[in-house]
Amino acid sequence: MRLIKFLTDFMFIEPLNLEKHDIDIVTELIYIVDHDIYLDIFKQKDKAISAIKKLLKIKNTIIKNNPSKSHDENNMKGYRNNNINRDSETFEYVLLEDNEIKGYLQIIKGKNTILSINEVFLLLRKMPLSIAYKFIKINFLDFFVLSKTNVSEIYLGELSILPDEQNKGFGTFLIEETLKIAKEEKFKKVVLDVKISNENARRLYERFGFRVFNKRIGRIFNKGRGMYNMEYIL
């Protein structure tokens, strides 16, 4: 316990800011979360990485041009995404140790829903059609297997640690930070999804008190995907 406490003294999260944080590292971390589906849809890792980076830059441009979506590093609220749904806000953070990026965290406060019409049009307007179509395709695949949340819940959408930094307590720290945010902001539940094939991740979350409440397997576009839907009651 002393060792874990000592390590966490040097770890902290802060809102993702592409003016400050290395976009190549952040892109790699986002790719790691769903590398199998990205590879399946984009066929090559470098093409998937390039597309994710384009999407990040688009989001960053929107944030820069809209003060209401700007970063707030003082109160750790991150920034609101471009989702028009008033019942949902997406926040992205990077995990740092000695000011070096070690991990990435995305949480959604409120409803976790499929892309809105406005977001679909944004992708089609800002990206090459072939790339936009692939992201829309991934979102539809997710729709059939991911948990659905309501306004009283937090959805832990993405948690990723760099390969060389795994098994060092960083993942544990991000889970604890998510639960801390949920408790401080009086949410009733934290929800997340784990690939059925990833038994190690399922057992890790179970050690924190998460439980499986559903198992969903979806198939669309001739692609199959299965998830454990898990929850932590606050």
Q: pLDDT for 178-212, tens place per residue?
A: 999 999 999 999 999 999 999 999 999 999 999 99
pLDDT band at 79 (very low <50, low <70, confident <90, very high): very low
| Higher-scoring residue by pLDDT: 64, 12 | 12
Which pLDDT value is given to residue 10?
A: 83
Collapsed DSSP state (helix, strand, coil) of residue 104? strand
Which pLDDT value is given to residue 210?
A: 98
Q: pLDDT for 96-145, tens place per residue?
A: 999 999 999 999 999 887 666 677 888 889 999 999 999 998 888 888 89
**Contact in structure between 155 and 197 (CB atoms under 8 Å):** no
Rounded Cα distance, 175 and 208, in Å: 8
pTM of this prediction exceeds 0.85 = yes
pLDDT band at 6 (very low <50, low <70, confident <90, very high): very low
Going by the DSSP 8-state scheme, the letter that residue 69 receives in this structure is G
Burial grade of 210 (CB within 10 A; 0-12, 13-18, 19 or more): buried
Query: Looking at residue 104, which CATH number applies to its domain?
Result: 3.40.630.30
**In the predicted model, is pLDDT for residue 2 greater than 70?**
no
Q: Structurally, how many domains does the chain consist of?
A: 1
**In the predicted model, is pLDDT for residue 226 greater than 60?**
yes
Residue ranges making up the domain that contains 208: 2-233
Rounded Cα distance, 83 and 56, in Å: 15
Rounded Cα distance, 68 and 88, in Å: 15
